[in-house]
Amino acid sequence: MATTAIDRTRRMLSLVTYLRERPGARVDEVARAFGISEDELISDLNVLPMCGTSFRGGDLLDIDTDGEHIWWHNADAVGSGTGQPLRLAADEATALLVAARAVATLPGLRDGDKDALLRATAKLEAAAGESAGASSRLSVTFEAEGGVFAVVDRAITERRRLLIRYYSPGRDELTDREIDPIRLFALGHTYVEAWCRRTEARRTFRLDRVARIELLDTPADPPPVEPRDLSEGLVQPAPSDPEVVIEVGPGGRWVAEYYPHDTAEELPDGGLRVTLRTPDPATLRRLALRLGGDGRIVSPPELADSARAAARAALDLYEETP
């Protein structure tokens, strides 16, 4: 993520306050405290000697580093007014308070963690003063199944295997599987990323689709895997996945909002032609049935056929069941 000039100024102002209290601070520790790389810190330290209250008068910050420690030689003479950090801005208070309130409402959060979060939120509200007001303009709700969440959280902490009964909407079936959980994350819904012992592969499970969960005594033993990069979204089809083409009318445009797709071309009637890829096109039969008159599967033809056949079979049942 690119750092803007505003972010960087904010960081350097806090850095000056931090360094004032800590002569000879270690580069690695300061970088960790500020959540930045050592290179980023060094580049800030290269800018600070150009900053001060008077360019012509030479009143500039005399801060230097040997790459290991940081020294500020004229802290008494220059940079007065930086003895305390700057008050929190509205956006800063909003970013922390809204996130903290959202995390605190997650069902299944450990009591100790929740207490710490609520204490921190209260202190932050007090410290932010009037800047805290803007945080009421923004809110986030995470969905989580409290009981399931708590069991998964415990399994991760105690490194134990789980037995879950999991619902796959695409196939409308429940399957029992043993999983070694790796991490929990919330992205709209709450998910557990795990090594699935049935498929011997990494899988992501949505907690509200877990019908039953049991903590096993077997130690979890997931092979070392890089956690998935979530910045690109949860569904990341492979280039080799089969392609599905769906045409929808105006009433089916929501498909483009809910299904990650490669292209969505506008159609003359106000509809869309959506092209997407999925490892298992059969799971989209549900979508075709749901769309009714608002859309249809163009390809693959087998998928369109299977949706038609399912609809006919259902209509036959309605004939038989008055």
Partner 1 sequence: MAIAKAERLMNLALCLLGTGRPLSKRELRTSIEAYIEVASEDAFNRMFERDKDDLRELGMIIETVESLDGDVGYVARRDRNQLPPVTLDAEEAAALGVAARVWQQARLAGAASGALQKLRAAGMPLAEEERETYSALEPRVPAGEAAFEPLMIACRDRRPVTFAYRKGNAVRADTRQVEPWALECWRGHWYLAGFDRDRGAARVFRLSRIVGRVRSRSGAFTTEVPGQVAVRESVARWAGEHATGQARIRLRAGSGYPLRARAARISAVDADWDELEIPYGHGLDAWLAEFGPDVVVLEPAELRADVVDRLRAVAKG
The phi and psi torsions of 234 (rounded to 5 degrees) equal -80, -40
- By the rule CB under 8 A, 172 interacts with partner 1: yes
Q: Which of residues 176-195 bind partner 1 (CB under 8 A)?
A: 183-189
Q: Is 128 left (phi over 0), alpha (psi -120 to 50) or beta?
A: alpha
User: Does an H or E element contain 71, and which?
Assistant: strand 69-72
Pick the binder of partner 1 from 197, 206, 261, 285 (CB under 8 A).
285
Instruction: State in angstroms the smallest separation of the CB of 203 from partner 1.
Output: 17
Query: Which one of the spans 133-141, 195-203, 215-223, 235-243 is the region binding partner 1 (CB under 8 A)?
Result: 133-141
Buried-state track 66-81, b at ≥16 Cβ within 10 A, e below 16: eeeebebeebeebbee
Distance of closest approach, residue 265 Cβ to partner 1, in angstroms = 15
Minimum CB distance to partner 1, residue 89 (Å): 3
**Residue 101 dihedral angles phi and psi, to the nearest 5°:** -65, -40
Q: If you ran DSSP here, which 8-state letter would residue 94 be given?
A: H
Task: Please list every residue from 211 through 230 that binds partner 1, using CB under 8 A.
Answer: 211, 230
Among 51, 163, 215, 245, binds partner 1 (CB under 8 A): 51
∠ CA 296-301-307, nearest 5°, is: 50
Interface residue with partner 1, options 27, 31, 138, 216 (CB under 8 A): 138
Instruction: Count the Cβ atoms, other than its own, within 10 Å of residue 201.
Output: 9
The DSSP symbol for 52 reads E
Applying CB under 8 A, which of residues 45, 109, 151, 274 lies at the interface with partner 1? 109
Task: For partner 1, give the closer residue by CB, 39 or 239.
Answer: 39
Interaction of residue 48 with partner 1, rule CB under 8 A: yes
By CB under 8 A, is residue 23 in contact with partner 1? Answer: no
Ranges within 142-171 binding partner 1 (CB under 8 A): 142-143, 153, 156-157, 167, 169
CA-to-CA dists, residue 200 to 83, 160, 211, 222, angstroms:
56, 17, 21, 10
Q: Does 302 bind partner 1 (CB under 8 A)?
A: no
Judged by CB under 8 A, the stretch of 65-73, 218-226, 237-245, 279-287 that binds partner 1 is 279-287
Whether the Cβ atoms of residue 144 and residue 206 lie closer than 8 Å to each other: no
Q: What is the DSSP string of 145-204?
A: -HHHHHHHHHHHHHTEEEEEEEEETTTTEEEEEEEEEEEEEEESEEEEEEEETTTTEEEE
- Which residue lies nearer to partner 1 by CB, 78 or 196? 78
Q: Which are the contacts of 251, defined by CB distance < 8 A and separation ≥ 6?
A: 293, 294, 295
Closer to partner 1 by CB, 86 or 225: give it: 86
Q: Given the complex with partner 1, which of 6 and 225 has the nearer CB atom?
A: 6
Nearest approach, Cβ of 112 to partner 1 (angstroms)?
A: 7
Identified binder of partner 1 from the candidate list 63, 106, 264, 276, rule CB under 8 A: 106
Kindly state the number of chain residues that form the binding site for partner 1, as judged by CB under 8 A: 130
